[in-house]
A and B are shown apart, each in its own frame.
Chain A
Amino acid sequence: MSRTDITVEICGMSGDGTIAAGGLLNDALAEAGFSILAFDSYPAEIRGFGRCITRSRITGTQPLALSDKTDVLISLDDKQSISRIPILRENGAVLFDNHPPAFLPEGESIAAHVGTEMQLFGVPFGDLASGASGSLRGRNLAALGAFASLFGVQAESFHQAIEKKFGPKGEAVLDANLKCFDAGFEYGLKDLDDGSDGLPKLERQAEGSEASLLSGNVAIARAALDAGISLYFGYPITPATPIMEYLAKELPKTGGKVVQMEDEISSIGAVLGSFYAGKRAMTATSGPGLALMTELITHGVMAEIPAVILDAQRGGPATGLPTKTEQSDLHAAVYGGPGDSPRIVLAPSNVLECYQFTLKSFQLAEKYQIPVILLTSFYLDNRVETLRLPSRTETDTGDWNVYPDDDSKGNYRRFEITESGISPRALPGSEGFIFTTTGLEHSERGIPEYGGDNHMRMSEKRHRKIASALPDLPPPREFLKNEKPDLGVISWGPTFGTALEAVEKAQEEGLSVAALKITSLFPYHAEAIGQFMQRCGDILIPELNFQGQLANLIGHLHRKEVIRLNQVTGSPMEVGTIFDKIRSIVD
């Protein structure tokens, strides 16, 4: 594999086709055999306001995180892109439209802001698009064409990506987009050749790749399909909506249905109802929706009904920052709701885990008869990675319900107190297995019973059941080079990838640092986490929330106060931020 590691950023105004261009770039370079990690950032408004940015890290091997610096900035709107110059490398390259429709006062062109060592490539995006297709709409494609020629990407890779995206829209649309791309490509070959010598070349990787490009959201939706869901209930909310959109197309093909509900309360209610009847279902929402679902989630806990709920976290509280990333629903996911209502909470850290953990959620929900909350975040849901999905096994897709023996027929105790806490669950309508289900505290037969002793025993059973799930949950994973590191960095969600890259960089510099990834947030592997902590001098927990919610959850396992690194800027944490913190602690 090559040592290629280039980050390309496309920046424009809503309506410039920035996100579309980023998607094509990712598809084309994935087709050319590169590994991609890409993330888009856009305003909450639908169109016409604000800045859109796509960042794509293009590497020979799968990157763990976005890089802090940009190598190439493609400006589709100079006013928006000027603010991106500070994160461009000192010798980075800028492609911009050098023939805007009107004369610009000094300072309004990005050319006025590039650094001394940066390379500037003016390309008349608009003129090229207009000449090729009669419309300015293909400016983004002309920009991609110029980029491809400058960086040695084969036009064929982009042609395939363009055909995939625009082919379904008809020949005229496809043709216009191909022409715009080609116009930019040819301009680059003819007019930009002089300055392109020192640029890295993204030539097709010899080994090729069978991996595909998936977003976190699509990986989750694919897993839901592979898990055999019959129903999806949801109410649109950023950043979870793409899951419903994907399933709306794909689920009917397997005989399932997607139902847009009137709100999140009805969505979780319908999911519980579906599982209650023995059919797998799921819902996906974000923080505000999770808040609405809270009571019914605890109903699932009390009535021991499975459910799978995805909480795609965004900036909060309340409606907060709809299109920005954060990890601040951890407390709500673990503790939210009335009473002692233990549930399972998992947090994937990358797109592959989005797929794996979603599959796992259905198994856990069925086996432990409990709502399972998957915690992702805008940064994970909306980013794309190249990966090869593992092939499914029967274990992955099979029925994980624990059914009662025939012996209990006629004397069925739906909430029987067992050593594991798991009471075999009969589906409603099963002959000889009559039971009552209620959100009230109940007896083993499900009859409401408010006695203190009963409540105590039932609470113990529900918590015992959750504790017994621990061996089935993904364990923490250590990344260490020596047994007694000076510092252990513990993180969760997509911030872990960033943390690991920072730790690896620190290890390369000879610092005694280790990393621990935690993906099971409740219940969590206290013993393994505690052992890791005890081996480390200090513990640093970087996370995208203000309160240090993971630190609050597991900090007590360490013999001294854990060090927190919290950020709520709406953006992913940077490798440099964590690395600098590591160095300030260890050096």
Chain B
Amino acid sequence: MKEEHFIIIGMGPSGTKAAITLRKQAPEARITILSKDAERAFTPHMLPDFIAGKILEKDLYPYDPSTWDDLDIHIRRCQRVTDVSPGNGHLLLDHREVLRFTGLILAVGGRPQIPEPYLPFQDLMSTLKTVKDAKQWIEKLEGVDSVLVIGGDLTSLAVAKALLHLGKKVFFLINEDAFWPLRYDMDLMRKVSERLSQGGVEVIPSGKLGGLFRNANGKTQVRIDDRTLQVGMVGTFFGLAPDIRFLARSGFSMDRGILVDEYLNTGFEGIYATGDCAQVYHPGLRDYWVSIGYENALNLGRIAALNLAGRRVQAKVSGESIFKVRGVNVNTSWWVEF
């Protein structure tokens, strides 16, 4: 009998939840998590609280290192997948090792995206995805009294709140450009702006970033339309772009993310996608949707694992799903404009 070997690519909230769920469903199976990153599994949504000093670094890690040994789940960090061959049931790692699988869950997450007009200035902009990023934020903030936040994704709102908690002056350039996976309509943008202003943030209405450079005294000078700001640091928050370029030759259906059915199946038997990298089909709407947020990631990871283990669980979502973050209601967007 062929040994069951389930591989999960990605060690974010969705991937780790999938692995733990799989272990319960398939006690005898071999389970491997592959992660290209060096970091341990952590809770990304808590990074702003870590920056604010509300929690310690250890609080970011939901699993004790012994968890994986106890569950007999093999973690392979710093190992990048370069190709997946769904038909042959194997994948290739960047150090030229071939891994065979009987089931695969793609939970690769995303990387911070910076819109093209901002790319020339990216060296002067900080993003926030990893614990290491958060530590850099903490380090930089030590000598800084003001921060410009550009973007408007969920993380940006949480970071703005963290910065206020630290007593920093916060400027917020809300960008009306669409960014994945959120889309602002004017009404939502007004609501968010009002809420931010009430909290003490100076909101800069959508404007054109004309230039950005570091001056002699180490501050960052930002030109927005006709206005020039001088701030200690600049953060950009345009959501995460699914990190799926390595799947280009694999034969999966992909848009901005991996297209899966309502059971999170990719169309290949035994291969599922979950978390930030999945675009999930909604049979009622006949369109794809994406999810954001920690709880959603966990839920999708659980569903992918259950279905891989032979169950038939649908990823359900209401027509207009609403997430509440830091007191601000944010609509998820349907996948229409991308």
Q: Once the chains bind, are B69 and A100 in contact (CB under 8 Å)? A: no
Does A482 make an interface contact (CB < 8 A)?
Answer: no
Shortest distance between the CB of A126 and any CB in chain B (Å):
11
- Contact for A99 among B38, B96, B98, B99, CB less than 8 A: B96
A57-100 CB mask vs B (1 if < 8 Å, else 0) is 00000000000000000000000000000000010000011111
Contacts of A96 in B (CB 8 A): 95
Contacts of B65 in A (CB 8 A): 90, 116-117
Say yes or no: A119-B78 contact (C-beta < 8 A), given A194-B38, A197-B132.
yes
Q: Once the chains bind, are A120 and B77 in contact (CB under 8 Å)? A: yes
Question: In the complex, A122 Cα to B76 Cα: how many Å?
Answer: 13
Contacts of B38 in A (CB 8 A): 119-120, 194-195
Shortest distance between the CB of A146 and any CB in chain B (Å):
14
Q: Once the chains bind, are B75 and A109 in contact (CB under 8 Å)? A: no
Does B29 make an interface contact (CB < 8 A)?
Answer: no
Question: In the complex, A99 Cα to B80 Cα: how many Å?
Answer: 13
Q: Once the chains bind, are A99 and B95 in contact (CB under 8 Å)? A: yes
- Contact for A104 among B40, B77, B96, CB less than 8 A: B96
Does B97 make an interface contact (CB < 8 A)?
Answer: yes
Q: Once the chains bind, are A116 and B100 in contact (CB under 8 Å)? A: no
Per the 8 Å Cβ criterion, residues 39-64 of B in contact with A are 40
Does A318 make an interface contact (CB < 8 A)?
Answer: no
Closest-by-CB residue of A relative to B132 is: A197
B89-129 CB mask vs A (1 if < 8 Å, else 0) is 00011111111100000000000000000000000000000
Shortest distance between the CB of B69 and any CB in chain A (Å):
7
Say yes or no: A195-B78 contact (C-beta < 8 A), given A116-B68, A117-B65, A119-B38.
yes
- Contact for A106 among B68, B75, B98, CB less than 8 A: B98
Q: Once the chains bind, are A103 and B68 in contact (CB under 8 Å)? A: no
Does B79 make an interface contact (CB < 8 A)?
Answer: yes
B15-48 CB mask vs A (1 if < 8 Å, else 0) is 0000000000000000000000010100000000
Q: Once the chains bind, are B78 and A122 in contact (CB under 8 Å)? A: yes
Contacts of B100 in A (CB 8 A): 106
Shortest distance between the CB of B247 and any CB in chain A (Å):
19
Contacts of B92 in A (CB 8 A): 103
Question: In the complex, A119 Cα to B77 Cα: how many Å?
Answer: 8
Contacts of A104 in B (CB 8 A): 95-98
Shortest distance between the CB of A543 and any CB in chain B (Å):
36
Residue of B93, B94, B100, B132 most packed against chain A (CB within 10 A): B93
B76-88 CB mask vs A (1 if < 8 Å, else 0) is 1111000000000
Q: What's the interface size class on B, roughly? A: 20 to 34
Closest-by-CB residue of B relative to A197 is: B132
Does A111 make an interface contact (CB < 8 A)?
Answer: yes
Shortest distance between the CB of A31 and any CB in chain B (Å):
30
- Contact for A112 among B68, B94, B97, CB less than 8 A: B97
- Contact for B95 among A105, A117, A122, A194, CB less than 8 A: A122
Q: Once the chains bind, are B132 and A106 in contact (CB under 8 Å)? A: no
Contacts of A112 in B (CB 8 A): 76, 97
Residue of A90, A97, A195 most packed against chain B (CB within 10 A): A195
Per the 8 Å Cβ criterion, residues 378-406 of A in contact with B are none
Say yes or no: A106-B78 contact (C-beta < 8 A), given A117-B65, A119-B38.
no
Does A102 make an interface contact (CB < 8 A)?
Answer: yes
Contacts of A111 in B (CB 8 A): 76, 78-79, 93, 95, 97
Question: In the complex, A349 Cα to B96 Cα: how many Å?
Answer: 46
Say yes or no: A98-B94 contact (C-beta < 8 A), given A117-B65, A119-B38.
yes
Per the 8 Å Cβ criterion, residues 3-25 of A in contact with B are none
Question: In the complex, A477 Cα to B244 Cα: how many Å?
Answer: 66
Question: In the complex, A104 Cα to B98 Cα: how many Å?
Answer: 6
Q: Once the chains bind, are B97 and A109 in contact (CB under 8 Å)? A: yes
Contacts of A263 in B (CB 8 A): none
Q: Once the chains bind, are A106 and B97 in contact (CB under 8 Å)? A: yes
Q: Once the chains bind, are A116 and B69 in contact (CB under 8 Å)? A: yes
- Contact for A103 among B77, B79, B97, B132, CB less than 8 A: B97
Question: In the complex, A195 Cα to B80 Cα: how many Å?
Answer: 14
Does A121 make an interface contact (CB < 8 A)?
Answer: yes
Shortest distance between the CB of B14 and any CB in chain A (Å):
19
Question: In the complex, A104 Cα to B97 Cα: how many Å?
Answer: 5
Q: Once the chains bind, are B69 and A109 in contact (CB under 8 Å)? A: no
Q: Once the chains bind, are B75 and A116 in contact (CB under 8 Å)? A: yes
- Contact for A100 among B40, B77, B96, CB less than 8 A: B96
Q: Once the chains bind, are A105 and B98 in contact (CB under 8 Å)? A: yes
Q: Once the chains bind, are A122 and B94 in contact (CB under 8 Å)? A: yes
Contacts of B77 in A (CB 8 A): 114, 116, 119-120
Contacts of B132 in A (CB 8 A): 194, 197
Q: Once the chains bind, are B78 and A109 in contact (CB under 8 Å)? A: no
Question: In the complex, A103 Cα to B85 Cα: how many Å?
Answer: 15
Shortest distance between the CB of B154 and any CB in chain A (Å):
25
Does A210 make an interface contact (CB < 8 A)?
Answer: no
Contacts of A109 in B (CB 8 A): 93, 95-97
Shortest distance between the CB of A107 and any CB in chain B (Å):
8
Contacts of A98 in B (CB 8 A): 94-96
Question: In the complex, A102 Cα to B96 Cα: how many Å?
Answer: 7
Q: Could you list some 28 contacts between A and B, CB below 8 A?
A: A97-B95, A98-B95, A99-B96, A100-B95, A102-B96, A104-B96, A104-B97, A104-B98, A105-B97, A106-B97, A106-B99, A106-B100, A108-B97, A109-B95, A109-B96, A111-B79, A111-B93, A112-B97, A114-B76, A116-B68, A116-B75, A120-B77, A120-B78, A120-B79, A122-B78, A122-B94, A122-B95, A194-B132
- List 17 additional A-B contacts (Cβ < 8 Å) besides A100-B95, A104-B98: A98-B94, A99-B95, A100-B96, A102-B96, A106-B98, A111-B93, A111-B97, A116-B69, A116-B75, A117-B65, A119-B38, A121-B78, A122-B78, A122-B94, A122-B95, A195-B78, A197-B132
Binding site for A on B (CB under 8 A): 38, 40, 65, 68-69, 75-79, 92-100, 132
